Amino acid sequence: MMRIEGFHVIFCFFFFFFLLFFLCFSFTMLVLLTVFSFTVDGFDFNDVRRSRYEIPETAFLYQRPALGGFKPLPVLLW
C-alpha cells in the first residue's frame, strides 16, 4: 500500500507540474504572439530588402540636371 500511495504522490506532482507548465507556456505564447502581431501589423519585410538595392526616393532631391544627375557621396552610400 505504501508504494501505491508514493506512486500517486509522484504522479500528482508531475501531473500538476506539467499542467502548470503548459498553462504558463500557453499564456506566455498568447501574450507574445498578440504583442508581436500588433508590432508587425502593416510592416512589409520586403520593403527592408528592397531598400538595400533600390535608390531611395529622397535621392532624387539631390539630382542636378546641369551636372548630368550628379549625386553627392552620402546619397550614393545610402
**The pLDDT of residue 10:** 82
What is d(CA 30, CA 25) in angstroms, rounded to the nearest whole number?
8
Answering whether pTM is above 0.85, one says no
**Are the CB atoms for 63 and 70 separated by under 8 Å?**
yes
pLDDT in tens, 19-74: 999 999 999 988 888 777 666 655 555 665 555 566 666 666 555 555 555 555 56
Q: Would you state the cell numbers that stand for residue 25, as one nine-digit string?
A: 507556456
What is d(CA 15, CA 19) in angstroms, rounded to the nearest whole number?
6
What is d(CA 76, CA 78) in angstroms, rounded to the nearest whole number?
5
